[in-house]
Amino acid sequence: MAKNLDELRAAVRARGLRATPSRLAVLELLRASDAPVSHADVADRLASQAWDRATIYRNLTDLAEAGLLRRTDLGDHIWRFEAVTDDTAHPHFVCTECGTVKCLPELELAVLRKTKGPRALRQRQVEVHVRGLCDACL
Ligand SMILES: [Zn+2]
Ligand SMILES: [Zn+2]
């Protein structure tokens, strides 16, 4: 556990941010999560701590701007955050019934060589959202 904390501290400092306890807690929570989490959910999960929601929101945006978190809007106008694990963003599955979000690292968007679409597509600067019913709603 202490080793993990050292690692978090080093990651935050390497991006030029101060390693405050709330920042480390937010990053630790998101690294342990297997799906993107909204500010409201992060604040709820850290509710036993003394930090207010505004502090947690600032931590999320600071960590996102520093490149440690990725921020995504999956179509419901709610920002969700997840830890950046590698530099290729993966598609996300969104349940159209209950709104559950799942990461789909195993799904890849294949861009054919002759694609004439926007440059962002060829450069993979796009987000892929797959919509359907989750297992619980199917
Ligand atoms: Zn569902
Ligand atoms: Zn994801």
pTM for the predicted model, two decimal places: 0.84
Q: Cα separation of 28 and 69, whole Å?
A: 11
* Predicted pLDDT at 2: 62
Output the tens digit of pLDDT for each of the chain's 138 residues. Answer: 567 899 999 999 999 999 999 999 999 999 999 899 999 999 999 999 989 999 999 999 999 999 999 999 888 889 999 999 775 678 999 999 999 999 998 888 777 777 678 888 877 778 889 999 999 999
Distance 108 CA to ligand 1 centre (A): 22
Cβ partners under 8 Å of residue 27, min gap 6: 8, 11, 12, 63, 68, 69, 83
Distance 92 CA to ligand 2 centre (A): 6
* Predicted pLDDT at 35: 92
Distance 35 CA to ligand 1 centre (A): 14
From 49, 55, 66, select the one nearest 11 (Cα to Cα). 66
* Predicted pLDDT at 113: 72
- Sequence-ordered alpha helix ranges (H) in the chain: 2-14, 21-32, 39-45, 53-65, 119-122
**How many C-beta atoms lie closer than 10 Å to residue 138's C-beta?**
8
Protein residues near ligand 2, an ion, with CB under 5 A: 82, 103
Protein residues near ligand 1, an ion, with CB under 5 A: 95, 97-98, 100, 134, 137
Q: Cα separation of 115 and 72, whole Å?
A: 25
Cβ partners under 8 Å of residue 81, min gap 6: 30, 36, 37, 38, 39, 42, 60, 63, 64, 69, 70, 71, 72
Distance 45 CA to ligand 2 centre (A): 19
